[in-house]
Every structure is written in C-alpha cells, then in structure tokens.
C-alpha cells in the first residue's frame, strides 16, 4: 500500500512538471509571437501615408497571423518569429519606432524607395541577427548611427540617397562580415575612417556624392572616394598591414612602402602566407601580385582625375585572374 502511494506521488509530480514545461513553452511562444506582432503594429502606427493600402488596410491586423502579413516572413524553425520585413517600393511615409528593436529574430530589413524620415532609433542595436539593412531612397536624417558597428553579423548596409550628415562613424570598421557598404548621395563630411580597411570581406564600397575629404590626403575633396578606398583595401589585404600601423609615419606610408617595392621587391612586403617560394610558378604568381598592387596604386593616385574607374579596375583584375587560373592548371 505504501509502495503504491509512493508511486502515485511520483506520477503526480511527473505530471505536474510535464504540465509546467508545456505551459511554459506555450507561454514563451505566445510572448514572442506577441512581441513581434506588437513591434510591427507599432511600425504601422508610425506610418502616416500608405498609397497602396497594403499596411494601413486590413492586412496588418490582429485578425490575421503576423506571418501572413504583406512583406513579413517568419522563421520555419521558430513559429511566429519574424525574420524578414520587406516593405520596399510601397510609397510609404513615416518614421521607424523604437519598438522595431524588439524583432530579435530579424535577419533582413528592406525599407528602400519610400518616404521614411527621422532618425533610425537606437534600439535597433538589439537586432543582433541582422545581416541585411536597406534604407536607400528615403529621407532619414542625422548622423549615420555609430551603433551600426555593433551589428556584427551585418553583410549589407545600404543607406544611399538619404539626408544623413556628419562623419562616417569609425565603428563601421567593426563589421568584419560586411560585404556591401553604400552611402552615396548623402551629406556626409570629414575623412573616410581608416577603420574601413578592417573590412576585408568588402566587395563593394560606394561613398561618392558626399562632401568627404579623402582618407590619407587631408583637405582634398573627392567624388571617387570609393575607388580610392578600394585601392587601400587591396593594399591592406595583400600585405596584412594597416595604414595606421606603427611602422608608418610622416616619411613612410603604406602606399609609399608598397610603391618602393614594385616591381622587383614585392615579395618583401606581401603577406608570406599568400605565396610559396617552392612552387614552380612562384615567379609568375609574384608577377600577378605585383600587377594587383599596380592596380591599387592606380586607384589611390593623389588626383581623383588620374585614378582608374571601377570598370577599368574590374577588367584588369579579370585578366590577372585568368593568368592565375592558368598557373593553377599547370601545377
């Protein structure tokens, strides 16, 4: 009888614990779902014009699952969690509310080609899963937020054609996974921060049509700062040196150091891990790297008018790539 009673107590305890676990899981799921829904409803409340009625109409409402709202995509693994918001090209006007920072599963935010204005709220720094931000062709104002630098998974930061002003924050250099940085046609000023050279994954950098002075050439206004910066990035990638390293000073810069080594002493400045002296194609590979550094020099000429265009750069790099591919086949 006592044993049966003990077994009964154990069974009751297990049932209670199991019930609590289920209730807790459901409560968490409901809370998360409500959080994402409320964040987007807050965005809806901050939209003052919706010519197509896509959002201010009946679609974005509690009567419909948030995962079925126009422009909203939810996670297949985490029910009810919003991972993508795409409200581009809708002619919307309004501001971004701070509540948008509660979309903790958000990976992609696309608001391009609308009429949003104001300052992006600082609570967006909580969107630590973000990989893609596209705010192009709006009317955002203020300085480019320094907190962008804390979104360490970011791969694309697209801010073209707004009214951003002030300097480019050096914190952008913390975005080591960034592949695309585009901020042309704003009112940015000052220099291009040297921390940009930390972005070794960068594939496109567009900063022209601002009021920027060139990085490394104080006082010169450039409309080809993207080409100049690309040249600096090439130098940094192949030498593993930064323009602000201790070895550089008034009489020696990263650019002059490389220039002095061309073409015959390039092996003394490039990263030793890039090339193996014991390979039969060592000399040819060295020539290819010299050619790449020549491209970098053309990108970073003092006068903007004398620099290569990105089209010319692409053509030269394609030719070098073909040569390297041929060498690989021979080996």
Beta bridge partners of 181: 157, 205
69-83, 215-229, 278-292 — most confident range: 69-83
pLDDT at 144 over 90: yes
Which pLDDT score, from 0 to 100, does residue 172 have? 94
What is the CA 324 to chain-centroid distance, rounded? 30
Average pLDDT over residues 285-305: 85
pLDDT at 224 over 90: no
Q: Do 75 and 174 share a structural domain?
A: yes
Of 146, 181, 206, the domain-final residue: 206
Q: Do 263 and 186 share a structural domain?
A: no
Confidence at 275, pLDDT banded by 50, 70, 90: confident
**CA dihedral for 130, 136, 142, 143, sign (positive or negative):** positive
pLDDT at 205 over 90: no
C-beta of residue 183 within 8 angstroms of C-beta of residue 206: yes
Average pLDDT over residues 58-69: 89
Q: Is residue 28 part of a domain?
A: no
Average pLDDT, the chain: 83
Q: Do 302 and 170 share a structural domain?
A: no
pLDDT at 107 over 80: yes
Which pLDDT score, from 0 to 100, does residue 148 have? 97
> Tokens in use for 123?
């609570």
- Residue 231 is given by DSSP the state H
Q: Do 241 and 184 share a structural domain?
A: no
Q: Is residue 297 part of a domain?
A: yes
More confident site: 162 or 223: 162
**How many domains in the chain?**
2
Q: Is residue 214 part of a domain?
A: no
What's 279's domain CATH number? 1.10.510.10
Which pLDDT score, from 0 to 100, does residue 57 have? 79
Q: Do 145 and 83 share a structural domain?
A: yes
> Tokens in use for 69?
């709202």
Q: Do 309 and 279 share a structural domain?
A: yes
Q: Is residue 29 part of a domain?
A: no
Q: Do 262 and 200 share a structural domain?
A: no
Q: Is residue 15 part of a domain?
A: no
Q: Tell me which residue range forms the domain holding 64.
A: 35-206
What's 145's domain CATH number? 3.80.10.10
Q: Is residue 215 part of a domain?
A: no
Q: Do 245 and 191 share a structural domain?
A: no
137-141, 191-195, 236-240: least confident range = 191-195
pLDDT above 70 as % of the chain: 84
Q: Is residue 154 part of a domain?
A: yes
Q: Is residue 20 part of a domain?
A: no
């Amino acid at each position: 009888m006592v044993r049966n009673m003990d077994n009964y107590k154990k069974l009751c305890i297990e049932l209670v614990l199991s019930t609590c676990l289920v209730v807790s899981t459901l409560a968490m799921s409901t809370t998360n779902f409500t959080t994402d829904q409320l964040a987007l409803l807050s965005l809806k409340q901050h939209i003052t014009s919706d010519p197509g009625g896509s959002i201010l109409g009946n679609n974005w409402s509690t009567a419909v699952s948030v995962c079925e709202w126009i422009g909203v995509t939810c996670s297949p693994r985490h029910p009810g969690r919003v991972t993508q918001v795409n409200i581009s090209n809708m002619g919307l006007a309004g501001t971004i509310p701070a509540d948008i920072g509660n979309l903790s599963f958000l990976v992609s935010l696309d608001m391009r080609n609308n009429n949003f204005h104001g300052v992006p709220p600082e609570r967006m720094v909580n969107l630590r899963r973000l990989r893609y931000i596209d705010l192009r062709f709006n009317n955002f104002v203020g300085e480019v937020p320094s907190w962008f630098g804390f979104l360490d998974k970011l791969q694309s930061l697209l801010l073209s054609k707004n009214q951003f002003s002030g300097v480019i924050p050096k914190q952008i250099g913390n975005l080591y996974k960034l592949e695309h940085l585009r901020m042309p046609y704003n009112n940015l000023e000052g220099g291009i921060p040297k921390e940009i050279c930390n972005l070794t994954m960068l594939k496109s950098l567009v900063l022209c049509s601002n009021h920027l002075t060139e990085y490394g050439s104080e006082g010169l206004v450039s409309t080809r700062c993207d080409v100049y910066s690309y040249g600096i990035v090439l130098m940094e990638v192949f030498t593993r040196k930064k323009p602000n390293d201790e070895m550089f000073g008034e009489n020696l810069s990263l650019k002059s150091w490389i220039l002095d080594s061309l073409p015959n002493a390039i092996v003394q400045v490039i990263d030793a891990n890039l090339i193996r002296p014991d390979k039969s194609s060592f000399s040819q590979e060295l020539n290819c790297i010299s050619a790449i550094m020549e491209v970098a020099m053309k990108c970073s000429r003092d006068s903007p008018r004398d620099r290569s265009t990105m089209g010319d750069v692409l053509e030269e790099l394609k030719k070098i790539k073909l040569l390297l591919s041929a060498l690989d086949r021979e080996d």
